[in-house]
Amino acid sequence: MQTHMRREINEIPEAVARLLERSAGDLAHAGRALRERDPAFLVTIARGSSDHAATFIKYAIELTTGRPVASLGPSLASIYHAPMKLAGSAAIAISQSGKSPDIVAMTQAATQAGALTLALTNTPASPMAQASSHTIDIQAGPELAVAATKSYFNSIVAGLALLAEWVDDDALKRALQDLPALCSRAVNLDWTDLAGQLGDADSLFMLGRGPALAIASEAALKFKETSNMHAEAYSSAEVLHGPVALVDYRFPVIAFAARDAAEASVVEIADGLVGKGALAFATSSRAGKASELPFVATGHPLTDALCLILPFYGFVEAWSRTRGFNPDAPAALKKVTETK
C-alpha cells in the first residue's frame, strides 16, 4: 500500500503547476509591491522545513538582487517582546498552517515595525496571512503525511516566482514554467544504490553550498523525522572547520551539488572526504572519487538546486519503510507544531 508521503511526493509536479497558474495574480501583485518598496534588506520568519525553504529563498534573493536577507527568531516577538526597526524592509513569513503562535506574533510585529510582509502559506485564511500585507497561497493541496514534502517544495517555488516578478527576471520565469515537467522526471529518479551502500549506518553528513545548503538541511531533517537517523547538514566549506573530525571509514556523506558556481567546490570536498575513508555521494557528473547520484539538470542554477530534493524524498520514504518505520506518522511528531 502506497504511503501518504509517497503519494504526496508524486503530486509535486501537479502542485507546482497549480501554484504557478492559480496564484499568478497574487504573485504579480506582491512582486509589484516589492518593486515599489525597493527594500534595502529583507527578513524571513519560519520554523522547521519552512525555515529551510526560507534559507533557499534567502540565497536566491541575495544572489539575484544583492539585497541582504536575515532570519528573525520568532521568539523575539512571542517571548522577548523586543521592539523591531524594520522600516524600508520586506519580510517573508512561511508556514504551511499559518497558525503557530510565535510565527503569527513575529509576522504581526514585522508588519507593525514597518516591513512589507508577505505570507507564503498553504492556508490563506490563517492568522499569519491575516497579519501580512500580502498572501500567496502555495496551492500544495492537502498534505497528510507528517513530514512536509509538497509544502516545502511549493513554498520555495512561490518564493522564486515572487522574486522573478519583483525583478522581472525572464530567465527565472521561463525556468519556473519548465519546472512541472522537470519535477516529473526528478520524482522518478532511483537512488536505490544509496540505500544498499548505507547498510546499518546510524549517522551521516549532508553537504551543500548556496541554495543547495537549504536542500541539505531539509534532507537531514527528513532522515531524523522519518527514520530516527542522526543526520547533520553543513556547508561543504564549513564541514572542514571541525565536523570533519567525525569522518572515518565508511562514514556516509551526501553532497548536494547543483549546476552552479559552487558545484566544483562541493564535489572537491566530497572527493576529498573519500580520501579519509568516507562513503561519499554527490549529485554531480564531476565527481571523481565520490559516487554519482542521479539528478535532473534544469538549465537554471536555482531550479537545478531545488530539484535535488525530489529524488531524495523518494529515497528517504523507501528507506524509512525498510527500517520498519511509518514515514506518515513518525513517533513523537504531529503535523502541525505550535510553539510560543
Question: Measuring CA to CA, how many Å separate 266 from each of 23, 25, 305, 310?
Answer: 35, 38, 13, 19
- Would you say 102 and 339 are in contact if contact means Cβ atoms under 8 Å apart? yes
How many angstroms from the chain centroid is the CA of residue 234?
A: 14
- Would you say 256 and 218 are in contact if contact means Cβ atoms under 8 Å apart? no
DSSP assigned state of 131 = T
Separation of alpha carbons 218 and 212, rounded Å: 10
**Helix boundaries (H) for 187-297:** 192-198, 211-227, 263-274
Q: What confidence category does residue 193 fall into, taking pLDDT thresholds of 50, 70 and 90?
A: confident
At residue 65, the pLDDT reads 98
Separation of alpha carbons 55 and 214, rounded Å: 6
DSSP assigned state of 240 = G
Least confident interval from 175-179, 235-239, 274-278 = 235-239
Separation of alpha carbons 46 and 93, rounded Å: 6
* pLDDT over 70 percentage in the chain: 95
Residue 340, pLDDT > 70, answer no
Edge-to-edge strand list for the sheet holding 42-45: 69-71, 42-45, 90-95, 116-121, 134-137
Residue 336, pLDDT > 60, answer no
At residue 172, the pLDDT reads 98
At residue 178, the pLDDT reads 98
Residue 191: which region, alpha, beta or left (left: phi > 0; alpha: psi -120 to 50)?
A: alpha
To the nearest 10 degrees (0 to 180), the angle between helices 150-167 and 170-186 is 160
pLDDT digits (tens, 9 = 90+) for 267-292: 999 999 998 888 999 999 999 999 99
Q: What dihedral do alpha carbons 230, 231, 234, 236 form, nearest 10°?
A: 130
pLDDT digits (tens, 9 = 90+) for 130-172: 999 999 999 999 999 988 999 999 999 999 999 999 999 999 9
Edge-to-edge strand list for the sheet holding 203-208: 230-235, 203-208, 252-255, 279-282, 291-292
Higher pLDDT among residues 25 and 237, named by residue? 25
Separation of alpha carbons 46 and 71, rounded Å: 8
The label of the residue with cell 535532473 reads 296
The residue-averaged pLDDT of 218-243 equals 87
Q: What angle do CA 93, 160, 169 make, to 5 degrees?
A: 135
Number of neighbours of residue 84 by Cβ within 10 angstroms: 18
Reduce the DSSP state of residue 107 to 3 states and report it: helix
Higher pLDDT among residues 22 and 243, named by residue? 22
- Would you say 170 and 319 are in contact if contact means Cβ atoms under 8 Å apart? no
Number of neighbours of residue 137 by Cβ within 10 angstroms: 21
